[in-house]
Amino acid sequence: MKAKELLSKTWTSCPNELSDIRQNITDVCRQLNYQEQDINAIVLAIDEACTNIIRYAYDNCKDGRIRIDISSDGHQVIFRLHDFAKKVSKNCIKKKATEPLQPGGLGVALMQQIMDSVEFVHTRFCKGNVLEMKKALPKEDN
């Protein structure tokens, strides 16, 4: 089945853009009939991924770009987050054993808990990094 494109939009790496990113993700998830709790969780996962891009890929530089492509193959939704910064280590999304009282690592743990898969995809021919997250579509009776 051909993937259906649901969103393709670019924002700057300014933290003030996060609110608009969250609104766009919410709108797409509502169209897909996810339940409110799932929408909250998906929005959080994408927000955490964007936060990591801003902090670690762009070192808090505000004039980078973040492109988010969302598509669906009929079974799952595929969220691709592209940045155009230096290559980051794939190890940075390895699951950490986070203790609740340690402030660091919460974002990655949340992304992995919420999404069905989280991985960097190969980007040999283009600059930057592509983080791909997949989440099963809601069941039809939802």
Partner 1 sequence: MSFDCTEYLQYTVLHLTGEVDLSNSSKVRSCLLEILDQGKSVIVDFSTLTYIDSSGMATLVEGLNIANKNNLSLFIAAANGAPLQVIELTRLNQVFTLVNAVEDIKE
Does 16 bind partner 1 (CB under 8 A)? Our answer is yes
CB contact set of 55 (below 8 Å; sequence gap of 6+): none
Q: Which stretch binds partner 1 (CB under 8 A): 4-12, 14-22, 77-85, 87-95?
A: 14-22
Pick from 104, 116, 123, 142: which binds partner 1 (CB under 8 A)? 104
- Pick between residue 48 and residue 71 the one whose CB is nearest to partner 1: 48
The full length of the chain comes to 142
Tokens 């190969």 locate to 122
- Pick between residue 14 and residue 130 the one whose CB is nearest to partner 1: 14
Q: Whole-angstrom Cα distance, residue 1 to residue 22?
A: 28
Are the beta carbons of 118 and 131 closer than 8 angstroms? yes
Q: Whole-angstrom Cα distance, residue 60 to residue 128?
A: 15
- Pick between residue 114 and residue 131 the one whose CB is nearest to partner 1: 114
For partner 1, the binding residues (CB under 8 A) are 14-16, 18-19, 22, 37, 40-41, 43-44, 47-48, 51, 54-55, 100-104, 106-107, 109-110, 113-114
